[in-house]
Amino acid sequence: MVDIRLPESLRGVEPVRSVRTPAQLDYEFTAGDATSRFLKGITEKRIIGQRATPTSRVYVPPRGADPELGAATPIEVEVAQTGTVTSFCVVNLAFYGSVMEIPYTSALILLDGADLSVMHLIQEIPADQVRIGMRVEAVWRDDADIEPTLESIKYFRPNGEPDDPNVRIPGEGHGTGLGSWVGGVAPTEAIIRNPRTGEGGEVR
Amino acid sequence: MTDDSTDQDEILSAPLIIEYPFQRTTGPVIGAFLTGLRERVLVGSRAEDGRVIVPPAEFDPVSGNDLTELVEVGPAGEVQTWAWVTAPHDKHPLDHPFAWAQIRPDGADTAMLGAVDAGTIEAMSTGLRVEPVWADERVGHIDDITRWVPVASGEGA
């Protein structure tokens, strides 16, 4: 470290070595129609996704649009409360704001009937035994504590079924966090409609 | 199918507060500036061409060499440019109209940002002499200067 020459007035006083500079952003989050309906489903302990057509992808949680087709998703679909771990992360470090006891496991879970993974906790299994392809089920809070939040699902736990070996990017031998691609086909320009020109897009 | 006649009152909303609780190390130069605030002293660094830069720069703006000589400036200074805030928001340092100003402390060759509590826009002017008001409890943070106020005429020259 370089030698700093201080003015007389600061010699011999305890130097400041660090400073707190928190950044806080205050929002009012408006869920919108699709997510509001999803969260109302949660209050009935149902997990509801949406899709654009009877055969296109089911998005859970829904955002009201299919980004691949550039189309609204007016069809509601209830999906299963069981699913497959598509990716996970074992958290070994406590961090500011965390209320979890470490280590814990956060995972992307592809619910049966959905085409997009949700992120949630995996519990009732040691962190080092969680694996891609593991089958899990939702564990809800007590009925009295159910609220319109995904936290009404306390966590997911292994449901005892054999692992799903098919959770992977098509053509690659390992798992990913991307969930499944419809029909094992990657999104390409051929199947994505350009929302500006309206060209392309194959409604399946 | 969703119902097209969705009741808009049914749309959910909730407060969402995101906080990044940064704490960072200061290094010896910025650390000295913050130490100075705690001790009610303003500190700048002397560049190779002799100019005094405040808040202190760690490196010479021309050569990039380390700057190691810290000198006391001000604390009174002169408003170089300013903008009047008619409607302060929650995160502003004052809850009534004030001026954000670039203030060049006496003995410095650069200006630093400060909130000038001038009372009215008519009381603000380029060249106005101001002095810092120090917080009662200082911790080594820029907020140790709660605001700047005009120097009563005849003082602070």
pLDDT in tens, A12-21: 899 999 998 8
Instruction: Compare A204 and B23 and report the one with higher pLDDT.
Output: B23
Chain A residues whose C-beta sits inside 8 Å of any chain B C-beta: 1-10, 13-33, 35-37, 39-40, 50, 74-76, 96-97, 148
Q: Is A150 helix (H, G, I), strand (E, B) or coil?
A: helix
Closest-CA residue in chain A for B142?
Answer: A19
pLDDT in tens, A137-193: 999 999 999 999 999 999 999 999 998 877 654 444 444 434 444 455 544 444 555
pLDDT in the model for residue A171: 42
pLDDT in tens, B135-147: 999 999 999 999 9
Query: Which residues are registered as beta bridge partners of A117?
Result: none
Q: What is the mean pLDDT of chain A?
A: 82
What global pTM score does this model have?
0.62
**Sequence-distant (≥ 6) Cβ neighbours of residue A145 within 8 angstroms:** A152
Domain residue limits, chain A: 31-79, 80-180
Lowest mean pLDDT among A91-100, B70-79, B85-94, B98-107: A91-100
Q: What is the distance between the alpha carbons of residues B81 and B83, in angstroms, rounded to a whole number? A: 7
Cα-based distances in Å from B78 to B21, B128, B131, B157: 34, 6, 9, 10
Q: Is B34 helix (H, G, I), strand (E, B) or coil?
A: helix
Closest-CA residue in chain B for A6?
Answer: B70
A75 and B26 in contact by Cβ < 8 A? no
Range list of β-strands (E), A114-165:
118-122, 135-140, 153-158
CB pairs under 8 A between A and B: 130
